[in-house]
Amino acid sequence: MDPREISEQLFEDVKEAFLLVAAYPAEEIGDSYEKLSALYQGIAVCHLLQSGASEGYRENLLRSAHARRFYLSQLAAREITNDRRLALSRTEAFLDAVAAGNHRLAAEVGRLSVTEWHEGWEYEDDFCYYRCLHLLVDASPSQESAAVLARYEKVLDGEPEARFLALRALHDRSAEPFVENLVEFMQQRHLKAEERKEVLLEPDFAAYTHWPRTFISVEGVALISLARAAGMQIGGNIPLCPPEAQLPVTNRDTEDFFQGLHRELRAAGRAR
């Protein structure tokens, strides 16, 4: 596959999804907002693979987070709390903001997100993982983040995974075990990504958004960003986390298409 061709196809899908955003209330098209975040993440990685330039990579990661923030804000304005698409682990948009170096935007997404686990929406360990990250991006480790981490460990029932161990090391500000377990976690991610790529034979949304993940894990990059923001010295060769994908924390933002569209619709008397 060619990153330019994939990026162009993903952008066509973005345009189609935006037509739905303009036409329907957010609570009716939550899947479209999730799709937009996945599309923007794929476009971001393709930009980096194509040219090595970080600006298009950063901007499109931010747009993924914009999609999630706008969706969450719209549901909050309507006091909608029972939608399964509020589940923390349904989208990597929060991680996209962190990886883009805008921890302030990531914290906004975290504050708009649910704080209680809903059985049937997502696995409890996934909820605990994301909930702990939401707390860590917004503040230093606390009693609350420690309690979520302990709950996560209890859910694993004595079988701690590399993801949990990396998170615990991040929480404890322990650089060496963090890197060691992140390497293992990313190796596992890489293996799964390659296995899935072998079965995605049709040129469709699933294949086009998955292909970039076989080269770069935004999740891994986000964890590194959080670790460095906490003052941890992170080095070494970490799978799926090339140096060019690791951006400094600057809290720089880019144009928010969702807010812009919302303003235009309100001005036309068509706000959703």
Strands (E), 39-184: none
pLDDT digits 0-9 by tens, 16-70 = 999 999 999 999 999 999 999 999 999 999 999 998 889 999 999 999 999 999 9
Cα R_g (the chain), whole angstroms: 18
Q: Residue 272 above 70 pLDDT?
A: no
Q: Give the Cβ contact number of residue 159 at 10 Å.
A: 7
Say how far apart CA 76 and CA 91 lie, in whole Å: 18
Residue range 232-271, pLDDT digits in tens: 999 889 999 999 999 999 999 999 999 998 888 888 776 6
Q: Domain boundaries in the chain? A: 3-267
Distance CA 7, CA 47 (A): 7
pTM summary value: 0.96
Structure token pair of residue 195: 């296995």
CA triplet 178, 182, 183: central angle to 5 degrees? 120
